[in-house]
Amino acid sequence: MRRGVEVVEATEGEVFDIELEADILKANEKLAEENTGLLREYGVKSIDVMGSIGSGKTCLIEQLVQRLRERYKITVFNGDLTTTIDADRVKRHGVEVVQINTGKECHLDANLVKKALQKVNLTGIDLLLIENVGNLICPAEFSLGSEMRIVVTSVTEGPYMVVKHPFIFMGTDVAVINKVDLAEAMEVDPNKLESDIYSINPDAKVVKTNCRTGEGVKELIEILNL
Ligand code: MG
């Protein structure tokens, strides 16, 4: 009989930087609360858009901007380690954009968002879309102070992306399953991804999209109450 795979698991307190991390997360929470307060004070709706590299976060933001720019004064923050590639893409749609470059960090944090908020005129904004750094692990732990969180995943990431990253799906309000047009070629069932999400987070709202054509984006806008 084939034996199962051996698993080594880290227990709590065993990971070297655990105390340091707890302090960092606490400091981040405090700054996130300040961001929430500031955004509320100015009546700005805000959404943190998370997901892997290449899942379609920028494409989704472009779709949202095109459909909502007549109704809302939109600002977009684009998080990336380096470059302004995504910010340039979004800026073409005629909205205010701030690129946030994290250098080495694999996620945005509340401090960086706070710095970006100081660069914009909050009285002139009523919707803020924040594209997080492409990563399904680190952004889950760092709240930015946004009102809502979206995770974008796509069928091209394979069948196990959801079950392997439960924490980010646990903490999201909405999950987008993107690139559904490629599902057959990828042999990935979007309905299975959907049921994986519900089993991790029964309160999440799930939308299937093809951001290239805009399929599903109208439904997402309704779910987001925008
Ligand atoms: Mg992007």
- Window from 2-6, 63-67, 186-190 with minimum mean pLDDT: 2-6
CA of 79 to the centre of ligand 1 (A): 8
Please tell me the distance between residue 108's alpha carbon and the centre of ligand 1 in angstroms. 13
| 89 CA distance to ligand 1 middle (Å) | 9
Long-range interactions of 190-199: CB distance < 8 A, separation 24+: 190/155, 192/159, 193/153, 193/155, 193/159, 193/161, 193/162, 196/162, 196/163, 197/162, 197/169
pLDDT in tens, 75-107: 999 999 999 999 999 999 999 999 999 998 999
Statement: the pTM of the whole predicted model exceeds 0.85: yes
Ligand 1 centroid distance, CA of 43 (Å):
26
> Could you report the per-residue pLDDT of 153-181, keeping only the tens digit for each?
999 999 999 999 999 999 999 999 999 99
Give the distance (Å) from ligand 1 centre to CA of residue 57: 5
Residue 7 alpha carbon to ligand 1 centre in Å: 34
- Residues pairing with 176 in the sheet: 152, 207
Written in H, E and C, the secondary structure of 91-115 is HCCCCEEEEEECCCCCCCCHHHHHH
Is residue 16 predicted with pLDDT exceeding 90? no
Mean pLDDT of the chain: 94
CA of 161 to the centre of ligand 1 (A): 18
Centroid of ligand 1 to alpha carbon of 192 (angstroms)? 25
Ligand 1 centroid from CA 134, angstroms: 7
CA of 61 to the centre of ligand 1 (A): 9
Distance 83 CA to ligand 1 centre (A): 11
C-alpha 4/C-alpha 124 separation (Å) is: 58
Q: What is the pLDDT of residues 27-59, one digit of tens each?
A: 999 999 999 999 999 999 999 999 999 999 999
Task: Give me the residues paired with residue 48 across strands.
Answer: 130, 149
Phi-psi region of 23 (alpha: psi -120 to 50; beta: other; left: phi over 0): alpha
pLDDT at residue 1 is higher than 60: no
Q: How far is the centre of ligand 1, averaged over its atoms, from the C-alpha of 179 (Å)?
A: 15
The model's confidence at residue 14, banded by pLDDT at 50, 70 and 90, is low
